[in-house]
Amino acid sequence: MHHFHYVGHDLHCESVDLAGVARLYGTPTYVYSAATIADNFHRLQQSLTGLEVQICYAIKSCSNLAVLRHFANLGAGFDLASGGELRRVVAAGGNVRSSVFAGVGKTEAEIKLALENGIQAFHVESEPELVRINHVAGQLGVKAPIAIRVNPDVDAQTHAKITTGKSDNKFGIPLRHAAAAYEAAAKLKNLQVRGVQIHIGSQLTDITPFAEAVKKMVPLVAELKAAHGLEYFSVGGGMGIVYRDALASGQAAWWAAQPPERRPITPEAYGAALTPLLAPLGLRILLEPGRFLVGNAGVLLARVEHLKRGANRNFLVLDAAMNDLVRPAMYDAYHEIVPVHRDSSRRALVADIVGPICESGDCFAKDRQLQEVGEGELVAFMSAGAYGHVMASRYNTRGISAEVMVSGSAFELVNARESFEQIIAGEKVPAFLK
Ligand SMILES: *Cc1c(COP(=O)(O)O)cnc(C)c1O
């Protein structure tokens, strides 16, 4: 569920007319709903009934300071993927002590920064990384808290670029080597074992792989708890969201109308499947959701430059491009695209929806049907909150798009559109070319 809906003919985020946002701040612009984020957070937090749950929001999915402060206010910790993300948590007033540090290639400088800021734990992906963390902790004269990421070798049945829990992915230590890795960790005197972690992939729409992974892990986790005194089991993130019927899925009625076998994953179904498996462990459960919390809480607003009618196809050329939202080009992702001003008297249009960049890959959708829209009119990409703005690039010397946050009838620019001067600020012509 989310808070994007039409009021009369006009698409609103909570109580704010999105056309007004575009008028003030231009396009392309990402708009986030604070209420949707809070609702998603509370639903997930309550899903594992009776268990001690700690949500560590996966920053990489949407990392502006406004979103991070919102999560900090809600009581979230954070799942960090870099030293830069750690510094974002500090800058946003978040708590590093309830945050965890993931990733297969943490540098010595990043490890030092995390230790100095009191990280809750490093999620370690290999034996060499254990040695490196132990070494840095020794230099600082502290004990580094760790959990090892175990690869349970289950097929998450998601896009190949976002599946992470198969044995041929680069992530984690294989299940059969995990006990030995913990033995090795216990022998390193600057490490302190705190937990165990898995994360099998992203945009999972079915509960089965989650349950399968947890079932495979439970005997190991119980054994590790007895041997090393674990405090927590992190089951990772990965819960999927609705992309195809994104707008409709804002309403409870849409969910009620889905036959049970077709209903996309919900926090309630996730909790019902995992709670009985996890409860006997008697551990705190960490969740590391990214997409589920912010994905349907954000849209990308874009303006139509041209409707180009061709002999065989129509092209709707937008001012947004693959540099603003790369998911269609990178993951073959589907985003629902809706008019900001809905007018049922208009004819339907079938068109390829494209950006202005000189790449055939700069195409958001092929043969998409939507209401006819013309030059200067606005469209919104639904479910663009996760892996949207954070993956933006400057390709074609296009500045990174703006971000706005809405709460009720209030809205504010939370990240200004990047200017040309900012883009070239670090560049110079070398002396030998002058
Ligand atoms: C990316 C990532 C997440 C978040 O994944 P979502 O699919 O956005 O929930 C969680 N944990 C780890 C280790 C990750 O790399």
Same domain (yes/no): 114, 154: yes
* Domain CATH for 72: 3.20.20.10
Question: Are 224 and 179 in contact, with CB atoms under 8 Å apart?
Answer: yes
Name the residue with the closest Cα to ligand 1, atom 10. Answer: 237
- What's the confidence (pLDDT) of residue 409? 98
- One domain, residues 106 and 71: yes
Q: Which of 37, 55, 61 gets mutated to test ligand 1 (max ligand atoms within 8 A of its CB)?
A: 61
CA of 388 to the centre of ligand 1 (A): 14
* Nearest atom of ligand 1 to the alpha carbon of 289: 9
Give tens-digit pLDDT for 98-130: 999 999 999 999 999 999 999 999 999 999 999
Q: What is the amino acid identity at position 345? A: S
Residue 358 among the catalytic residues = yes
pTM of the predicted structure, to 2 decimals: 0.97
What spacing in Å lies between the alpha carbon of 82 and ligand 1's midpoint? Answer: 13
Question: What total of structural domains would you count in the chain?
Answer: 2
pLDDT tens, N- to C-terminus, the chain (434 residues): 999 999 999 999 999 999 999 999 999 999 999 999 999 999 999 999 999 999 999 999 999 999 999 999 999 999 999 999 999 999 999 999 999 999 999 999 999 999 999 999 999 999 999 999 999 999 999 999 999 999 999 988 777 776 777 777 778 999 999 999 999 999 999 999 999 999 999 999 999 999 999 999 999 999 999 999 999 999 999 999 999 999 999 999 999 999 988 889 999 999 999 999 999 999 999 999 999 999 999 999 999 999 999 888 999 999 999 999 999 999 999 999 999 999 999 999 999 999 999 888 899 999 999 999 999 999 999 999 999 999 999 999 999 999 999 999 999 999 999 999 999 999 999 999 99
Do 260 and 301 lie in one domain? The reply is no
Q: Looking at the structure, tell me whether residues 46 and 146 fall in a common domain.
A: yes
Alpha-carbon distance 12 to 4, whole Å?
6
The CATH number of whichever domain residue 351 belongs to comes to 2.40.37.10
Residue 181 and residue 123 share a domain: yes
Residues with beta carbon inside 6 Å of ligand 1?
58, 60-61, 79, 102, 199, 202, 236-238, 288-292, 386
80 Cα–ligand 1 center, Å: 10
Distance from the alpha carbon of residue 405 to the mean position of ligand 1, in angstroms? 23
Among the candidates 290, 312, 338, a domain finishes at: 290
Site to substitute for ligand 1 among 202, 232, 243, most atoms within 8 A of C-beta: 202
**C-alpha span between 295 and 162 (Å, rounded):** 15
Marked catalytic residue, from 13, 56, 62, 358: 358
Nearest atom of ligand 1 to the alpha carbon of 81? 15
Contact (CB, 8 A) for 329 and 393: no
Cβ-count burial 319-332 (b if 16+ within 10 Å, e if not): bbbbbbbbbbbebe
Does residue 247 sit in the same domain as residue 317? no
